[in-house]
Amino acid sequence: MSFLASSRASTTPDYDSTRALPPMTASTRVALDEPLLTADDVAELLSIPRSSVYEYTRRQHNPLPSIPVGRHRRFHRSALEAWLTACQTAGRGGTLNR
């Protein structure tokens, strides 16, 4: 075995293909029957800056629902609509502020 091959072998993490994934339940499943929106898509729909979309996802109280996909965030339009409805009925005049 060459030096390069042996150094790669020692730094590559082992992957156990026999290890089972946890069982999926109704609460852990993500439906992909609707396309996922990007932060730019959400910003355009709400007519707000993209930075506000990310700020709303990080809020402690009533955060904008999002799905982490690697280092990205994706959004279901139906969850966005439900969030907006909840903000409108809970707040004064439908405000999205904290």
Determine the pLDDT at residue 32. Answer: 77
Determine the pLDDT at residue 69. Answer: 92
User: Mean pLDDT by 10-residue block, N- to C-terminus, for the chain (98 residues)?
Assistant: 50 55 64 89 96 95 93 95 90 55
Q: b/e for 30-55, b at 16 or more Cβ within 10 A?
A: eeeeeebbebebbbeeeeeeeeebee
Determine the pLDDT at residue 59. Answer: 93
Q: Which CATH class is domain 33-98?
A: mainly alpha
Determine the pLDDT at residue 94. Answer: 47
Determine the pLDDT at residue 43. Answer: 97
Determine the pLDDT at residue 58. Answer: 94
